[in-house]
Amino acid sequence: MWKRFMADLFTIFTESGKTSNQFILSCLLLTIGYCLYWFLSHNDNFLSILSKTSHGSCQKVTISRFLGFFLLGLIPLLLVIISDSLAVSATGLNLKWNHSGWTWLMILAPVIVLINFLSSKNEANLNQYPQIRDKKWTNKTLFIEYSGWAFYLLGYEYLFRGVFLFGTIPLIGVAGAIALNAAVSTLAHIPKGWKETLGSFILGFFLSYVTLQLGSIWFAFGIHLVIAWSNSIFSFLAHPDIKYDTGK
**Identity at 2, one-letter amino acid code:** W
**Integer Cα distance of 148 and 117 in angstroms:** 21
11 pLDDT more than 60: no
**Integer Cα distance of 238 and 206 in angstroms:** 29
In degrees to the nearest 10, what's the CA dihedral of 169, 206, 83, 151? 180
- pLDDT bin (cut points 50, 70, 90) of residue 248 is low
pLDDT digits (tens, 9 = 90+) for 151-161: 999 999 999 99
**Integer Cα distance of 172 and 50 in angstroms:** 41
- pLDDT bin (cut points 50, 70, 90) of residue 16 is low
Across 209-224, average pLDDT: 94
pLDDT digits (tens, 9 = 90+) for 44-55: 889 888 888 888
Please state the domain extents for the chain. 18-244
Element (H, E) at 211: helix 194-214
pLDDT digits (tens, 9 = 90+) for 56-71: 899 999 999 999 999 9
3-state secondary structure of 98: coil
3-state secondary structure of 244: strand
